[in-house]
């Protein structure tokens, strides 16, 4: 198709492709707040920005090439034609001038609808955000002029606050991809970024509202973009909005000296406490979907903290991250007792994944929650849940080794006995268990 032809031209003659795309951008995007003289439609804007995205695919340019971010000594002076093209897009996106200095605050970089009327169209917004995620190395090269405009686009009505729920969800995922490699640069504006994200992360665990009607036709899009998770998947906890918590974790988990210890600890404790409170409220209300999202959010926020930071340098952070396991395990008991639909099974999967994340992230701090969780998971008696218990035990053995002795004495006998009982129907016709079944049965009989 057209995209394949464009890739071929860009590969054979990069200069021609670059010039063509720049001309298309100049015609499609406004300058100094004035509308484009050609009255460009949203289709033209989307096609021009998508072309920038395609140019970065596999290009040997410090703006997009992994491992050459262009910020090390001697590399910043290296020519970056794609970086210059991306800077042109960003500065024109809100009606700015390429020669002007960048905004000083996120507020100055927020959407100006009169400058670029196409910016909030669902396909245009997605194309721009996908391009920003791909060109994050260009932002790392010139954070003074590019960081705030791009970050603002992720956080305002062009991104995570977009009226279309699918666009907003995809923006949260792309925000996480963008923030992870740029956490050191964002640390300089961290308080403002966290304030802008507060409403986004709070709403991410709430049920999906009905999506507004899609703007324009979805046919003719140049770049295929993710359409987010549907409502059914969101109820199960697979909601792209929850990547906002991953982004929050990356920002809070920075070890940059610009974030004071007390501020880092208090902000983390506040975010985790809110999730625990919302989880308990949803559990009492029998809202399995919100419970699942809260549990996934607890695991996501922990991804941004290194084990050293969460356990050795600032152990209060590790305690805050792992504390959600208590209400999460209690939540399982409530839904196991109700036994309505697949809710309990979905929640068990989410809690187990959360616990496994904590074992990796905070180590011994997660150990006190192990026995209650294994007992709760095996209480359902299902074959999949028993298998999950053994997976958990294997992970605990590999992590804690000799420290697991007391756990093994209190939890393992009952688990093995229950497993032997579950395998009994598969014994040989003579009524005896042989092979692995016999081993399990004999172990279960050990006093």
Tens digit of pLDDT for each residue in 168-209?
999 999 999 999 999 989 988 999 999 999 999 999 999 986
Residue 110 lies in a domain: yes
Q: Which two tokens stand for residue 304?
A: 């941004």
Residue 424 lies in a domain: no
Any idea which of 107-111, 336-340, 395-399, 423-427 has the lowest mean pLDDT?
336-340
Tell me which of 346, 362, 378 is where a domain ends: 362
Residue 49 lies in a domain: yes
Domain co-membership, 134 together with 192 = no
Q: What is the pLDDT of residues 257-297, one digit of tens each?
A: 677 889 999 999 999 999 999 999 999 999 999 999 999 99
Confidence grade of residue 446 (pLDDT, cut at 50, 70, 90): very low
Chain-centroid distance, C-alpha 396: 26
Domain co-membership, 125 together with 60 = yes
Any idea which of 226-235, 397-406, 438-447 has the lowest mean pLDDT?
226-235
Domain co-membership, 167 together with 137 = no
Instruction: Residue 175: give the domain boundaries.
Output: 163-208+233-362
| 31 SS3 class | strand
Domain co-membership, 111 together with 18 = yes
Give yes or no for residue 81 having a pLDDT over 80: yes
Residue 23 lies in a domain: yes
Specify the number of domains making up the chain: 2
Domain co-membership, 288 together with 271 = yes
**What pLDDT, on the 0 to 100 scale, is given for residue 359?**
92
Tell me which of 362, 392, 418 is where a domain ends: 362
Residue 244 lies in a domain: yes
Could you tell me which of 295, 446, 278 has the C-alpha nearest to residue 369? 295
Domain co-membership, 154 together with 168 = no
Residue 179 lies in a domain: yes
Domain co-membership, 144 together with 198 = no
Domain co-membership, 133 together with 277 = no
Could you tell me which of 335, 265, 264, 323 has the C-alpha nearest to residue 299? 323
Domain co-membership, 102 together with 182 = no
Tell me which of 98, 124, 159 is where a domain ends: 159
**Cβ count near 4 (within 10 Å):** 9
Domain co-membership, 22 together with 117 = yes
Domain co-membership, 32 together with 122 = yes
* CB-count burial class (<10 Å; 0-12, 13-18, 19+) for 139: buried
Residue 338 lies in a domain: yes
Residue 388 lies in a domain: no
* 116 Rama sector, left if φ>0, alpha if ψ -120 to 50, beta otherwise: beta
Give the DSSP letter of residue 341: T
């Amino acid at each position: 198709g057209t995209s394949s032809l464009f890739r071929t031209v860009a590969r054979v003659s990069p200069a021609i492709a670059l010039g063509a795309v720049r001309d298309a951008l100049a015609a499609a995007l406004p300058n100094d707040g004035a509308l484009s003289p050609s009255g460009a439609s949203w289709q033209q804007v989307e096609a021009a920005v998508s072309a920038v995205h395609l140019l970065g695919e596999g290009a040997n340019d410090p703006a997009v090439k992994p491992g050459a971010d262009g910020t090390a000594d001697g590399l910043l002076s290296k020519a970056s034609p794609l970086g210059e093209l991306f800077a042109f897009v960003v500065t024109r996106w809100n009606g700015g001038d390429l020669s002007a200095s960048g905004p000083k605050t996120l507020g100055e970089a927020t959407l100006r609808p009169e400058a670029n009327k196409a910016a909030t169209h669902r396909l245009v917004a997605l194309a721009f955000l996908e391009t920003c995620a791909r060109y994050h190395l260009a932002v790392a090269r010139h954070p003074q002029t590019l960081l705030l405009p791009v970050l603002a686009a992720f956080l305002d009505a062009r991104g995570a606050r977009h009226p279309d729920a699918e666009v907003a969800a995809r923006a949260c995922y792309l925000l996480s991809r963008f923030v992870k490699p740029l956490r050191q640069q964002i640390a300089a504006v961290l308080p403002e970024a966290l304030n802008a994200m507060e409403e986004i992360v709070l709403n991410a665990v709430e049920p999906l509202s009905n999506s507004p009607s899609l703007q324009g036709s979805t046919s003719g899009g140049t770049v295929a973009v993710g359409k987010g998770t549907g409502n059914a998947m969101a109820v199960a906890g697979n909601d792209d909005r929850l990547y906002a918590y991953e982004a929050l974790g990356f920002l809070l988990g920075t070890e940059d000296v610009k974030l004071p210890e007390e501020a880092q600890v208090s902000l983390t404790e506040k975010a985790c406490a809110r999730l625990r409170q919302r989880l308990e409220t949803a559990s009492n209300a029998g809202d399995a979907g919100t419970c699942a999202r809260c549990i996934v959010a607890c695991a996501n926020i922990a991804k941004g903290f290194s084990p050293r930071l969460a356990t050795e340098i600032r152990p209060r952070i590790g305690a805050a991250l792992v504390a959600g396991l208590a209400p999460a395990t209690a939540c399982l008991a409530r839904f196991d007792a109700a036994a309505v639909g697949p809710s309990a099974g979905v929640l068990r999967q989410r809690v187990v994944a959360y616990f496994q994340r904590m074992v990796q992230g905070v180590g011994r701090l997660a150990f006190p929650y192990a026995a209650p969780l294994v007992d709760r998971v095996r209480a359902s008696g299902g074959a999949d849940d028993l298998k999950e218990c053994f997976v958990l035990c294997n992970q605990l053995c590999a992590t804690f080794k000799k420290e697991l002795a007391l756990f093994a004495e209190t939890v393992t006998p009952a688990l093995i006995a229950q497993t032997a009982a579950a395998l009994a129907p598969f014994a040989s016709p003579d009524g005896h268990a042989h092979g692995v079944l016999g081993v399990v049965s004999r172990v279960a009989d050990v006093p």
